[in-house]
Amino acid sequence: MIAFSCMAQILVRQIDDDTKSKLQRLARQHGRSTEEEVREILRNAVREVDEPPTKLGSRIAARFSGVGLKQEVAEVRGQPVRPAQFES
């Protein structure tokens, strides 16, 4: 049995010369064709489309989870903005 994979095609018209030149430059920097560069840009653009968005606080907590913060961070929602206080 022979299986065929069908790949979709998209034709993009009216790309300005500056954008095309920059895409070509990016492709050279990454060692790939302009066509492959555009495919990679599109893949990256839609990578997280089906994932539910994470809240900013959760993303910040995840980013610094390995640092070892031992205390709770106070909720600041609804409070007025105040400048940071630093010890002298």
| Domain harbouring 23, CATH code | 1.10.1220
Asked if the structure places residue 81 within a domain, the reply is no
End-to-end CA distance of the chain: 76
CA dihedral angle for residue 25, residue 28, residue 33, residue 38, rounded to 10 degrees = -40
**pTM score, two decimals?**
0.55
CA 25 – CA 37 distance, rounded (Å): 10
Tokens of 18: 């500056």
Asked if the structure places residue 42 within a domain, the reply is yes
Overall number of domains in the chain: 1
27 close to 37: Cβ distance less than 8 angstroms:
yes
Task: Write the pLDDT tens digit of every residue in 73-84.
Answer: 677 777 888 888
Task: Write the pLDDT tens digit of every residue in 32-61.
Answer: 999 999 999 999 999 888 888 778 878 888
Asked if the structure places residue 57 within a domain, the reply is yes
Asked if the structure places residue 8 within a domain, the reply is no
